[in-house]
Chains A and B, each alone.
Chain A
Amino acid sequence: MCQDCGCSATTVEHVALVKPLLERNDAEARHNRVHLDAHGVMAVNLMSAPGSGKTRLLEATVCALRGEFACAVVEGDLETDNDAARIRRHGVPAVQITTGSACHLDAHMVHHALHELELDGLGLLFIENVGNLVCPASFALGTHRDVVLVSVTEGDDKPAKYPVMFRDADLVLVTKTDLLGVLDDFDVANVERHVRALGNPAPVVAISARTGEGLGVWLDWLRGQCVAVRGVADRPVAIHGSI
Chain B
Amino acid sequence: MHELAVCQALLDEVERIARAQHAERVAAVRVRVGVLAGVEPELLQRAYEVARAGTLAKDAALAIEDSPVRVYCQSCGNESAARAQRLLCAVCGDWRTKVVAGDELTLMSVDLVTADRA
Co-complex (A, B)? yes
Interfacial residues, chain A to chain B (CB-CB below 8 A): 1-3, 8-25, 102-104, 106, 134-135, 137-139, 160-161, 163-165, 167, 194, 196-199, 201
* Distance, CA A136 to CA B117, complexed state (A): 46
Is the beta-carbon distance between A11 and B106 smaller than 8 angstroms?
no
User: What string of 1s and 0s marks CB contacts (under 8 Å) between B17-41 and chain A?
Assistant: 1000101100100010000111100
Q: Which residues, 92 to 118 on B, are CB-close (under 8 Å) to A?
A: 95-99, 105-116, 118
Q: Of all chain B residues, which has the CB nearest A22?
A: B9
B116 touches A22 (CB 8 A): no
Using a CB–CB cutoff of 8 Å, the interface residues on chain B facing chain A are 1-2, 5-6, 9-10, 12-13, 17, 21, 23-24, 27, 31, 36-39, 71, 84-88, 95-99, 105-116, 118
Inside 8 A of A13's CB, which chain B residues have their CB?
A: 21, 23, 111-114
Residue of B nearest to A201 (CB): B96
* Given contact pairs A8-B115, A138-B39, A197-B85, a sample of 14 additional A-B residue pairs in the complex whose CB atoms are under 8 Å apart: A2-B116, A10-B24, A10-B115, A12-B27, A13-B23, A15-B111, A19-B107, A22-B9, A102-B5, A138-B105, A161-B85, A165-B38, A199-B98, A201-B96
Neighbour of B109 across the interface among A17, A23, A134, CB < 8 A: A17
Closest to A104 in B: B2
Establish whether residues B111 and A14, one from each chain, have CB atoms under 8 Å apart when the complex forms. yes
In the complex with contacts A22-B105, A197-B85, A11-B2 CB distance below 8 A: no
**Which residue on A lies nearest to B1, using beta carbons?**
A103
Residues of A within 8 A of B96 (CB): 199, 201
- Contact (A12, B113) CB under 8 Å given A2-B118, A199-B99: yes
- Complex Cα distance, B1 from A20, in Å, reads 20
Q: Which residues of B contact A15 (CB under 8 A)?
A: 17, 21, 109-112
A2 to B118, CA, bound (A): 6
Q: Are the CB atoms of B95 and A197 closer together than 8 Å?
A: yes
Query: B86: nearest residue on chain A (CB-CB)?
Result: A197
Name the 8 nearest CB pairs between A and B, nearest first: A135-B2, A164-B38, A199-B97, A199-B87, A9-B116, A3-B118, A138-B38, A196-B95
Do B6 and A21 touch across chains, with their CB atoms under 8 A apart?
Answer: yes
User: Is the CB–CB distance between B107 and A21 below 8 Å?
Assistant: yes
Q: How far is the CB of A92 from chain B (nearest CB, A)?
A: 29
